[in-house]
């Protein structure tokens, strides 16, 4: 059982209708295949990112946030420099 709002139910019903299956079968097909991909990725220790997520990740790597004094002190403490 999954609790969904009305709009989500309508979207699932429409998607199921497009595939000509019941909503239950649609949810089972889609969620099971996605679950299998995620389990396989976890077994391979890989992370799958959408194109938007890849871009956000790359931008975060290119432009890391400026550390606060407290964060710098914590880093030094964790590295045993204090």
Where do the structural domains in the chain lie, given as residue ranges? 1-48, 49-82
DSSP letter for 77, please: H
- The whole-number pLDDT of residue 46 equals 80
pLDDT in tens, 27-82: 999 999 999 988 988 899 888 899 999 999 999 999 988 999 999 999 999 999 98
* pTM of the predicted structure, to 2 decimals: 0.51
- The whole-number pLDDT of residue 2 equals 83
Contact at 8 Å (CB) between 37 and 29? no
Q: From CA 27, how far away is CA 15, in angstroms rounded? A: 10
- The whole-number pLDDT of residue 30 equals 94
Among the listed residues 11, 40, 15, 10, the one whose alpha carbon sits nearest the alpha carbon of residue 26 = 15
Q: From CA 56, how far away is CA 58, in angstroms rounded? A: 5
């Amino acid at each position: 059982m999954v609790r969904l709002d009305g709009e989500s139910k309508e979207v699932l019903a429409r998607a199921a209708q497009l595939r000509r299956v019941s909503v239950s079968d649609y949810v089972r097909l889609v969620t099971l295949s996605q679950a299998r991909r995620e389990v396989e990725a976890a077994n391979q220790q890989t992370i799958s990112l959408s194109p938007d997520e890849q871009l956000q990740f790359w931008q975060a790597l290119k432009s890391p946030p400026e550390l606060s004094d407290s964060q710098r002190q914590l880093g030094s403490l964790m590295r045993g420099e204090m």
